[in-house]
Structure 1
Amino acid sequence: MILTLKKSTLIKLGFLLLIICLYLFVPQVNTTVKKLVVLFSMLDISTMKEYIKSFGAWAPVVSLVLMMFQSIAAPLPAFIITFANAWLFGWFFGAILSWSGAMLGAILCYYISKLYGRPAAEKFVGKKALDISDKFFNKYGPYAILIARLLPFISFDAVSYAAGLTSISLWSFLWSTGIGQLPATIVYSVLGQNIDKASKLGLWVICGVAALIAFALAVKKYIDEKHKNKQNF
């Protein structure tokens, strides 16, 4: 048991050391990471689209990697990629790509917390974000992930990291995340496909987000009432 524990710890430390060394001593990795941070911080959908497009046939793969990078390097905005994907690939394939990338990113965050614990999660998303997620999990239990995914103002990545610190199984985490993020992905993708055509896109974005919030609050209210009924019995 002790030997297994030591071996597991060594593997975790070794992997972490490898990542740090790659960033510090491989100029291409260091430059790419810094470039991506700047790219996301620009909040420019057109620039993101052109960056993904520049990889040609590898563009879909790059999009997936970008979504995973965004998840780890929270709080970089994911919606930039979702809009860019839809603009570049069309809403349907763009939505599939964005949804898949978000799922991969969520799994990565989940396992980082599982492997390295709360200190590592706090390094990525901050103590305050995790504390808020903890309260959400304590209140809604197995429904917490589904509700959190539906609400666009709750940090997607913080929820993923927080879930990894709980006893929630990977399967429960996956189906809740997959269903919960689907409405927002579709809405953003439809808007993204028409980003260069709609003169009043800003208004459509506001309407789309408002509709998502209204839907999420309705689901939340339903679950709240369900909990109250259980407690009364």
Structure 2
Amino acid sequence: MQLKISRTSTVVVLATLALLVFVYLWVPVVHQAVHAVVGILTLPDVPQAIAAFRDYLLGFGVWAPLVSGLLMVFQSVVAPLPAFVLTFTNGLLFGWAWGAVLSWSSAMVGALVCFWIARALGRPVVERLVGGSQSLEVSDLFFAKYGKRTILITRLLPFVSFDIISYGAGLTPISVRSFLIATGLGQLPATLVYSYLGQNLTGSIQVLFWVFSITLALFVLGWVVGPGVLRRLRAKHTPTDVKKTS
């Protein structure tokens, strides 16, 4: 189905993106902050990344929740950074309940922005943003197989990119309301678990070890199971005539 792209939406999104790029390039404080956060969130040692991000947020005092929320949106839209580090840290700083609310709501905003960009600018632009057409293959396969249920299903799978599905959903006829409901429900379990674990990061070496072990196990499980799932989806959506000739 060919989606009709609103010219007004396209202009608004392009103007907003241009403004953000301008701020990043010409406002030194913003430029330095972005690079500092990227450096923290890409640290290979998870406990070290959480501790560093906690210290970074504490430097903003009462503005820490706002900064954390903005960074969650930033990583959703622009940078493929590990959001679970932000969620852990929010639970550590603000308690599991308020930390979960902050992480959940800011991730919802990030998902909606990705959806809005895709809906307003179309597939060619999204492919450039996510690194090529192959990056959207996972989204295409899941939507072809599960339709609207894709969003809820993939939010529960650790090997499927949160951002790619948000962009991919914007390229389908799904309504904003359905997208937000499925996203909100699908991301809730992981948000609650990570927030609770983050709250219990009291400095205990044993706790840090278990948090790191659980996180690593989830990602290893995702990367082991994920390729098999994608192979089955590809096989089911191979054209019939191709199958017969092979």
Check conservation: 1:122, 1:130, Cα contact below 8 A.
Answer: yes
Check conservation: 1:191, 1:205, Cα contact below 8 A.
Answer: no
Q: CA RMSD in A?
A: 2.6
- Matching residue of 1:29: 30
Evaluate the alpha carbon distance shift between residue 8 and residue 58 of structure 1 in structure 2; reply closer, same or farther with a 3 A threshold: closer
* Larger RCO (CA under 8 A, 6+ residues apart): 2
- Matching residue of 2:57: 52
Q: Could you tell which deviates more after superposition, 27-36 or 56-65?
A: 27-36
Give the counterpart of 1:145 among 126, 132, 151: 151
Identity of aligned residues (%): 49
Q: Which residue identity is paired with 2:166?
A: S
Check conservation: 2:37, 2:53, Cα contact below 8 A.
Answer: no
> Could you state the TM-score of these two structures normalised by the residue count of structure 1?
0.80
- Matching residue of 2:173: 167
* Unaligned runs of at least 5 residues, structure 2: 1-5, 230-246
- Matching residue of 1:197: 204
Shift of 1:51: 1.1
Evaluate the alpha carbon distance shift between residue 140 and residue 9 of structure 1 in structure 2; reply closer, same or farther with a 3 A threshold: closer
Evaluate the alpha carbon distance shift between residue 129 and residue 51 of structure 1 in structure 2; reply closer, same or farther with a 3 A threshold: same
- Matching residue of 1:15: 16
Shift of 1:119: 2.7
Pairing of 1:1-233 with structure 2 (within 5 A)? 10-42=11-43, 44-126=49-131, 127-195=133-201, 196-197=203-204, 199=206, 200-201=209-210, 202-205=212-215, 209=218
The 1-side partners of 2:16 and 2:204 are apart by 46
Evaluate the alpha carbon distance shift between residue 32 and residue 123 of structure 1 in structure 2; reply closer, same or farther with a 3 A threshold: farther
Q: Which residue identity is paired with 1:39?
A: I
Check conservation: 2:10, 2:121, Cα contact below 8 A.
Answer: no
Evaluate the alpha carbon distance shift between residue 97 and residue 9 of structure 1 in structure 2; reply closer, same or farther with a 3 A threshold: closer
- Matching residue of 2:236: none
Shift of 1:129: 2.3
Q: Which residue identity is paired with 1:108?
A: V
The 1-side partners of 2:65 and 2:166 are apart by 23
Shift of 1:198: 6.0
**Secondary structure of the equivalent of 2:90?**
helix
> Could you state the TM-score of these two structures normalised by the residue count of structure 2?
0.77
Q: Report the number of matched residues.
A: 211
